[in-house]
Amino acid sequence: MVSYVNLVIYFCLVVLFAIITLFIAKLIRFRDPNFDPVKLQPYECGEDPVGDAWAKFPVSFYLIALVFVLFDVEVAFIFPWILALPKLGLIAFIEMFIFLFILFLGWIYAFKKGALKWERNQ
Amino acid sequence: MPWSEIGISLVKIALVLFLVLTLVAYLTLAERRISAFIQDRLGPNRVGPFGLLQPLADGLKLIFKEDIIPERANKILYVMAPAFSFITAIIALAVIPIGGGFSTSLFGLLKEPTFIKFQIADINVGLLYVFAIGSLSVYGVVLGGWASNSKYSLLGGLRSAAQMISYELPLGLSILGVVLIAGSLKLGDIVQAQAKLWFVFPQILGFLVFLVSSFAETNRLPFDLPEAEPEIVAGYHTEYSSMKFAMFFMAEYTHMIVASSLIVSLFLGGWYLLPYFGWFGIDIVKYWFLPPLVFIGKVFLILFLFIWVRWTLPRFRYDQIMNLGWKVLFPLAVINIIVTSAVIVFI
């Protein structure tokens, strides 16, 4: 329990540090007396910004996120297994081998479907 | 929980924060100096002896800079993102053990000697904690990129999110061999299991996968696509200025420190000096200050490797990064688990 209390104290102090730093910066930062509102434009190499940045982006990013969630859950399953493996022995090994084999099939499926593909040929 | 213990933890926490923030500041100087030497330049050497006060000057400059929040940005998230990024980077350090610890009665203040660990929180799920916090760090970057409402920032944030989650899988899988041999998720136990032999030798494949993935997780070259200067200006922190920019910067360097300490404590024997035989007879209970020195020395070497790689290798293309993560490192990490567990079960 002591460790978790330490962790909470540490967490609070770090958060406090971040907030205080930002607050001090806010207090003593430079304020331009001749502030030009054009500074508030998003940076687009000096041109006037075209349209909104919150627009469409490639669907590949969604696919990667989906595949990641899938495989990350598998990794979460492997952690307890690997700690118990020396006690459970061969049966646990074979079970996990089957599990990893199915995972591997899923990986091949994602591969074949092009979810991991980034090259565009237009 | 007695007050003395809280007092000791507060001192430890203050020390860790101070050390890490100083190290982050001097890491920026080291990066600039080493890059200068690699490119046959001198680098910043005017502020103080050998440029040693340069980080201080940079910090002061950044804190006094004009702070601009773009008018179309989401203000709350825009302000939160750098702080979030920094916090998630630095709280991962809580479970890193830099040494065994020592017994002291604090010069007679306490009735009986207490054992003080060189670690803030020695929790059972240490390794899982580090990975949980590490996964959170993607939020700071992606929120910063999205909230800026700038196209370069958005692209940087998206790239970063996809890259970091892709490399988290090999990162998580590559350490499982170490966990299997050590039989514990406590980082202290894992280091102690390397007394006879560093894990880099039985786990060489896991080590390589972990090393490459941690370069990608920290957004360092050759994987720094999230902030690839020639394409997307500065990526997710294009719109940031003043202290908020400095926070992103500090977060990046803190990530490097976390990654280096993880590499050292998981694969390079933590506070053991040589790959074999532990401390070959030196009484580390008596000379308790030796292990932290060895640990920090190794972390410095890995940090130097990070900087060296950055100024030596060119940047990958984005599809190459994704292919490396999903089609090379992920299968390699799975093969590593299968081989390691087979060896443990059958021998």
Q: Each residue of B91-146: pLDDT tens digit?
A: 888 888 887 777 776 666 666 677 777 777 788 888 888 888 888 888 888 888 88
Q: Are the Cβ atoms of A19 and B83 closer than 8 angstroms?
A: yes
Q: Do B6 and A14 touch (CB under 8 A)?
A: no
Q: What residue in B sits closest to A10 (Cα-Cα)?
A: B13
Q: Does A89 touch chain B (CB under 8 A)?
A: yes
The pLDDT, as a whole number, for residue B107 is 65
What pLDDT, on the 0 to 100 scale, is given for residue B110? 66
pLDDT in tens, B216-249: 888 887 887 777 777 777 778 888 888 888 888 8
What is the SS3 assignment for chain A?
A: CHHHHHHHHHHHHHHHHHHHHHHHHHHHCCCCCCCCHHHHCCCCCCCCCCCCCCCCCCCHHHHHHHHHHHHHHHHHHHHHHHHHHHHHCHHHHHHHHHHHHHHHHHHHHHHHHCCCCCCCCC
Name beta bridge partners: B276.
B197
User: What ipTM was estimated for this complex?
Assistant: 0.84
List of chain A residues whose C-beta atoms are within 8 Å of the C-beta of residue B74: none
Q: What is the pLDDT of residues B246-292, one digit of tens each?
A: 888 888 899 899 999 999 988 888 788 777 776 676 666 677 777 88
Rounded to an integer, what distance in angstroms lies between the CA atom of residue B172 and that of residue B99?
A: 24
> How large is the average pLDDT for residues A64-72?
84
Q: Which residues contact B162 (CB under 8 A, 6 or more apart)?
A: A60, A61, A64, A65, B322
* CB proximity B71 to A under 8 Å: yes
CA–CA separation, B199 vs B177, rounded Å? Answer: 9
Cβ separation of B5 and A2 shorter than 8 Å? yes
Nearest to A79 by CA among B241, B8, B177, B258: B177
What is the residue-averaged pLDDT of chain B?
Answer: 83
Q: Is the pLDDT of residue A121 over 60?
A: no
Q: Round to whole Å and give the CA distance between B226 and A96.
A: 36
- Chain B residue with CA closest to A37: the answer is B71
Q: Which of B91, B244, B327 sits opposite A14 (nearest CB)?
A: B91
How many Cβ atoms are within 10 Å of A5's Cβ, its own excluded?
14
Q: In whole angstroms, what is the distance from residue B80 CA to residue B10 CA? A: 26
Q: Which of B24, B90, B55 is nearest to B299 (CA)?
A: B24
Give dist(CA A34, CA B18) in Å, integer: 38
More confident residue, A59 or B83: B83
Determine the Cα–Cα distance for residues A29 and B79; give it in Å rounded to an integer.
Answer: 15
**Nearest CA of chain A to the CA of B120: how many Å?**
6
Q: Which residues contact B300 (CB under 8 A, 6 or more apart)?
A: none
pLDDT for B278 equals 65
Residue A122 predicted with pLDDT over 60:
no
What is the rounded distance in angstroms from the CA atom of residue B251 to the CA atom of residue B237? 12
Q: Which of B158, B331, B338 sits opposite A61 (nearest CB)?
A: B158
CB atoms within 10 A of CB B53: 14
Cis ω on the peptide bond leading into residue B222 (within 30° of 0)?
Answer: yes
The pLDDT value recorded for residue A120 is 61
B122 DSSP assignment = -
- Tell me if residue B123 falls in helix, strand or coil: coil
pTM comes to 0.88
- Separation in Å, CA of B38 to nearest CA in chain A: 31
Q: Is B202 on the interface with A (CB under 8 A)?
A: no
Using a CB–CB cutoff of 8 Å, tell me whether B58 touches chain A. Answer: no
pLDDT at residue number B281: 67
Q: Which residue of B has its CA nearest to A26?
A: B67
CA distance B344 to chain A (A): 7
Inter-chain touch B71–A57, beta carbons under 8 Å: no
Ordered by start, the domain boundaries in chain A are 2-40, 59-113
CB contact under 8 Å between B243 and A53, yes or no, is: no
* CB spacing of B154 vs A40 below 8 angstroms: no
Task: State whether residue B57 is helix, strand or coil.
Answer: helix
One-letter amino acid at B156 equals G
A98–chain B Cβ distance below 8 A for any pair: no
Q: Helices (DSSP H) in B148-289: which residue ranges?
A: 151-174, 176-182, 187-192, 204-217, 229-232, 242-266
- Chain B residue with minimal CA distance to A77? B173
Cα separation, B255 vs B246, in Å, equals 14
Residue count of chain A: 122
Question: Residue B100: helix, strand or coil by DSSP?
Answer: strand
Residues 6+ apart with CB under 8 A from B161: A61, A65, B138, B141, B142
Q: Any idea which of A45-59, B162-176, B277-291 has the lowest mean pLDDT?
A: B277-291
For residues A70 and A106, is the Cβ–Cβ distance under 8 A?
Answer: yes
- Residues 33-62 of chain A with CB under 8 A from chain B are 37, 39-45, 49, 52-54, 57, 60-61
Q: Which residues of A touch B14 (CB under 8 A)?
A: 13
Structure tokens at B262: 């993880």
